[in-house]
Chains A and B, each alone.
Chain A
């Protein structure tokens, strides 16, 4: 599952589907197919700006497309948010999905990976704060020691 979250779209693919989308945009008639294909490429980009753009397109599709397609949008909304480290949002989409399809292993696997990443990156945060606390304690300790000497 980590591989699915980390793989990056080939640039030529992103450009290809971007072109189709923009052609339709200028002609004023965007098909859901073109929008989805472009959005799917965007959320697999290495740039967070692209991913955010993809998320907007997916949200729009989620609200306008038919019921049976919604699972695909929820899934990629979760993937995109996880890729830009918006883990809480990603988990909200995961939970939304699992309400519709509680037994879906693909989405369960995604949930596990997101939680593991949160934990891992959360711990890094704690360790950093811990380091600062230790640093402060050190300074305080030194100050106390100096005060005692006096």
Chain B
């Protein structure tokens, strides 16, 4: 099989949000490059990353917008929330203030995305357990109360990073299957590519077939 640029059936748009220094860009880098970026400067504005994953035998391209956590970027980065199918909301388990600000990030997300947007809470830096400032239990409770998916992860060790990105995609895919997510809605954050698995071949075959019938 050729790996062409359209070798996927869906595109899901994600955003990564949360306070400055919680490790948003490092999580993205770990997910797309499978490497830990040890010296990670503050993101300016937004960064972008992409990776093709597979859910239930369907290839899905994730288009991930990683937003700067610095306050001065907060207002304008809100325009990137629109049309996100998934939102990864990140805090740092060793800094309580980043956890305390979650409700404000959640309010922004709820206001600017649509009801079907999957929100996944990530407690990053779980490799630094000795410096822990937020317990797993209280974060889990916050997630449950607000209907969020939740894991503690480490961009450094890679623990649970794949899981967070993949579980979000599974949930979105499930919403599509259940008909809860309307693919035709302008801001669903999901694009469906007409080419199903083997779709490109079908297209080519169709053309040949029609050519044949013409020449008859």
Interchain CB contact under 8 A, B76 and A41: yes
Number of chain A interface residues as a range: 20 to 34
> In the docked arrangement, what's the CA distance between A48 and B126, Å?
46
In the complex formed, the residue of B with least CB distance to A107 is: B44
Please give, as numbers and ranges, the residues of chain A lying within 8 Å of B76 by CB-CB distance: 13, 17, 37, 40-41
A40: contacting residue among B45, B50, B63, CB under 8 A: B45
- Min CB–CB distance A15 → chain B (angstroms): 12
In the complex formed, the residue of A with least CB distance to B44 is: A75
Number of chain B interface residues as a range: 10 to 19
Interchain CB contact under 8 A, A9 and B44: no
Grouping DSSP codes into helix (H, G, I), strand (E, B) and loop, the B interface class, with mixed when no group exceeds half, is mixed
Report if A150 contacts B (CB, 8 A): no
Interchain CB contact under 8 A, A36 and B72: yes
- Min CB–CB distance A84 → chain B (angstroms): 18
> In the docked arrangement, what's the CA distance between A105 and B50, Å?
16
In the complex formed, the residue of B with least CB distance to A41 is: B76
- Min CB–CB distance A122 → chain B (angstroms): 24
- What is the interface of chain A, defined by CB distance below 8 A to chain B? 1, 3-4, 9-10, 13, 17, 33, 36-37, 40-41, 69, 71-72, 75-76, 101, 103-106
23 A-B pairs within 8 Å (CB atoms) are namely: A1-B48, A3-B48, A3-B50, A3-B63, A4-B46, A4-B47, A4-B48, A10-B82, A13-B79, A33-B72, A36-B72, A40-B45, A40-B76, A71-B44, A72-B44, A72-B45, A75-B44, A75-B45, A76-B45, A101-B41, A103-B41, A105-B37, A106-B41
